[in-house]
Structure 1
């Protein structure tokens, strides 16, 4: 009853106010400038995540800045991840000083939502609703994520805005952009050749395709479409990272002050994108406020300001602090959210199809091939935040999101699919961009003894074994010389030395037999539970079980003499 006329009057007063040069220097416009810079930096780091890495800042910097990612990875793995700790402390200190400044000034998904919201403002008639009952959903989701992480199971990846946006850009947007570049990159008039020369390096030569890109895009589209209901619907109602930062902001030193000049015109409450200002009492909920500065910029009486205050040191005319610092949560719903976290953890860990590999790791599929340097499976699953950065940086496109290979708990985690692209012998990028170090850093030399699987020749499909045709493809492409030859009845047949083969998948990727390769990599050769020293000793102890093709030809030449 009160809301509709008030909003109309507020809109008229805001639109009728003359724009002065000071408006362009206002805190609100400065905040928008910082938002754009942060988004551009995020995009620059995303596109610069190409092997070989040359960025000054880590490409996964924004993922490290997500306190939800940091907290859930450390809780679920029960480990203090040194790489995340300094970035988590930066956001923690900033929140305790300034409040939810990350949400309003830095978060790239929030900026994308603000940009797309311009479309909905002009073309969609939003319902006049004050979604008080929705506001607390994000806190219940935070409880769900936290309880699940305490039980060692990750679920934050589904809700964290940075991981969600990075996954969407990788799986849904990057492949079409690469295709457009390959088709039209150099054909664009005037700028085509210049773009190829200066920015062509951001697209790998191999054509990249990802599974489940449609699902990633659909989730992102739903978040954007929710703006039709209200501005920043995701941020104000569903984002658990915002809930976490909101709870911390209760202790922030930055306070909103309103002077006696306030005449309760309600312009600030009607224009607040987070509905942090109550329309009747003009009280501000500090857990919802993202410091967008719209209230400061639109107040006709200049009665609102923000400032750091210690105790009661504020001047008398600014002493009227009208803030609410406690979200009104229902204890029963918090309990239900915690029970849901327990249920998810139990369900995710109940992997009926899992069997133990040679390294005593649960393997639910014979084709579950993890990137080199990955931690043992249970540890890997508790750390991986499904951000897809390793998939983005893979130069061959071989790393793909898991569907059923790793069970329910491993959904969206990276797996190597050799038929789509091998693990390049010289590439070490996936270990460099993993924010939680679920993939440990490694160098190219170490890849010779980082065992992720073993290649096996299907004799019913192999051209040599099944048809006695001469084919050397697997031997020619094998970087580690794991293909050996055995002479049976005067015919040389290829075999795989499992002590030398690390499962890189190059042989499977190049095998000419279609559609299923005659040589495939299986996960039973996975030795991630071994230390790197032990894997290295295993490699050094490897003995030849057959002859190489060169040795075989040499023996044939000597016998012919």
Structure 2
């Protein structure tokens, strides 16, 4: 059932406040043991690392039932605790429910702007499976649904627009994988990351990588047209 978020915040009290400081930048500093652990699956934003999340998650599934994107799953499918599966949903860009309802601190609560920069995975583009590459069919579903601009459509040597991935902007939300029409294996999938870190700011990236405007062509009389 839906959770009274304000009451939940009161119950976890000081622990949540301390966690916010750590999770605000989504740049966890794990121990050597945590860093070396098998990352296994993709975990919720604020999990930090597989080892940290497994140690704190009790499997209460409050995050699962309050997930707006229908992407959180209980243990199963090869994962021994709550994890993300992108076959039926994605981690909603404007949702931070999981961090707000977690009673144990396994999912560190973050302000929404910070959650939007928390990298929980990295997309991997597989060109041979892409309909644009294999069939020359215009698609672009992955780029259309990417909330950070990590995916853009650019022409290849044949003039066919195919996806181009900018990894530093990817947060692993799974919007691209969920939207990809290719079956049974999708042409773009999200892989786990060992440690959740803060992604590059899209506004700053596109500001510094903007292409200079081309000068307007001049007419025969020298006036710009």
SS at match of 1:485: strand
Shift of 1:390: 0.6
Matched, 1:438 2:106: yes
- Match of 1:497? 166
Q: Which has the higher strand share?
A: 2
> Closer, same or farther in 2 for the Cα pair 1:60/1:470, shift >3 Å?
farther
What per-residue deviation string (whole Å, max 9, x for no partner) do you get for residues 90-145 of structure 1? xxxxxxxxxxxxxxxxxxxxxxxxxxxxxxxxxxxxxxxxxxxxxxxxxxxxxxxx
Give the match for residue 362 of structure 1: 37
* 1:57 Cα deviation from its structure 2 partner: 2.3
Distance change in 2, residues 1:493/1:539 (3 Å): same
Partner of 1:478: 146
Query: How many residues end up aligned between the 2 structures?
Result: 195
Alpha-carbon shift at residue 448 of structure 1 (Å): 3.0
Take 2:144 and 2:86, find their aligned partners in 1: how far apart are those partners?
17
Change (3 A) 1:465 1:390: same
Aligned CA distance change for structure 1 residues 487 and 542 (closer, same or farther; 3 Å): farther
Matches within 5 A, 1:147-546: 360-363=35-38, 365=40, 368-403=41-76, 405-406=78-79, 411=80, 413-489=81-157, 490-524=159-193, 527-528=195-196, 530=197, 535=198, 538-539=200-201, 543=205
Unaligned 5+ runs, structure 1: 1-46, 65-80, 84-355
CA shift for structure 1 position 514: 2.2
Q: How much does 1:404 deviate?
A: 5.6
Is the 8 Å Cα contact of residues 132 and 138 (structure 2) preserved in structure 1? yes
Q: CA deviation at 1:517?
A: 1.9
* Structure 1 residues 440 and 364: alpha-carbon distance in aligned structure 2, compared to 1, 3 A threshold: closer
Long gaps (5+) in structure 2: 17-31, 218-224
SS at match of 1:469: coil
Cα distance in 1, alignment partners of residues 59 and 178 from structure 2: 25
Per-residue CA distance 1:452-479 (angstroms, 9 max, x = gap):
1111122121111111111121111111
- Gap change, CA 1:57 and 1:541, over 3 Å in 2: closer
Quick check: 2:44–2:84 contact (8 Å CA) kept in 1? yes
Instruction: After TM superposition, give the deviation of residue 59 of structure 1 in Å.
Output: 8.5
TM-score, length-normalised on structure 2?
A: 0.74
When the two chains are superposed, the root-mean-square deviation of aligned CA atoms in Å is: 3.3
Q: Secondary structure of 2:53's match?
A: helix
**Mapped contact 2:149–2:202 kept (Cα < 8 A):** no
Q: Deviation at 1:56? A: 4.7
> Is the partner of 2:129 in helix, strand or coil?
coil
Q: CA deviation at 1:483?
A: 0.7
Q: Which secondary structure does the structure 2 equivalent of 1:390 belong to? A: helix
Q: Equivalent residue for 1:261?
A: none
- Aligned twin of 1:82: 15
Deviation at 1:527? Answer: 3.6
Distance 2:139 2:8 in 1: 44
CA distance in 2, matches of 1:517, 1:426: 25
Residue in structure 1 matched with residue 2 of structure 2 by the alignment? 48
Give 1 or 2: higher helix fraction.
1
Structure with bigger RCO (C-alpha 8 Å, 6+ apart): 2
**Residues of 2 paired with 1:60 and 1:462: CA distance?**
48
CA distance in 1, matches of 2:184, 2:123: 17
**Kept after mapping to 2: 8 A contact 1:48/1:59:** no
Partner of 2:21: none
CA contact (8 A) 1:420 1:509 kept: yes
